[in-house]
C-alpha cells in the first residue's frame, strides 16, 4: 500500500475493523442463551421489598452518622432501586405498565 493515500488507508482499516467487530457481535448473538424469564410470571413480594428498602435506609442513616458518606450513598441508591422495582410491581398489578421494563 505504498501508493495508497492516507485517507484510503484509513477507510480500508476502518472497514476491516467494522467487519471484524460485526462478525464478533453476530457470533455472540447466535451463541447467547435465550432469556429464561420470558413468558414466566414475575412475582413481587411488595411488603418484603418495602421492609428491605426501609432497612437499607436505616443502614444509610447509621452510616451517615458514623461519617461513612460513600457507603451511605450506596445504601440509599440500593433503596432507591428497590423502591423503583416496588413501583413497577404496583403499576403492573394495577394494569398500568409491564413489570421491570427493559
Ordered per-residue pLDDT tens for the chain, 102 residues: 566 677 777 767 767 777 666 665 555 555 544 434 455 566 788 899 999 999 999 999 999 999 999 999 999 999 999 999 999 888 888 877 655 555
Phi-psi region of 2 (alpha: psi -120 to 50; beta: other; left: phi over 0): alpha
**At 35, phi and psi to the nearest 5?**
-70, 130
Please tell me the pTM assigned to this model: 0.53
Nearest to 44 by CA among 55, 36, 53, 35: 53
CA gyration radius for the chain?
24
CB 88, CB 100: distance < 8 Å:
yes
Per-domain boundaries in the chain: 41-102
Amino acid at each position: 500500500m505504498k501508493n495508497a493515500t492516507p485517507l484510503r488507508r484509513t477507510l480500508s482499516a476502518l472497514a476491516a475493523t467494522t467487519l471484524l467487530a460485526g462478525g464478533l457481535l453476530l457470533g455472540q448473538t447466535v451463541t447467547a442463551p435465550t432469556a429464561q424469564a420470558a413468558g414466566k410470571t414475575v412475582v413481587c413480594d411488595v411488603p418484603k421489598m418495602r421492609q428491605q428498602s426501609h432497612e437499607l435506609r436505616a443502614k444509610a442513616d447509621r452510616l451517615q452518622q458514623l461519617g461513612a458518606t460513600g457507603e451511605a450513598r450506596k445504601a440509599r441508591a440500593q433503596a432507591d432501586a428497590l423502591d423503583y422495582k416496588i413501583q413497577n410491581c404496583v403499576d403492573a398489578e394495577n394494569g398500568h405498565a409491564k413489570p421491570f421494563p427493559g
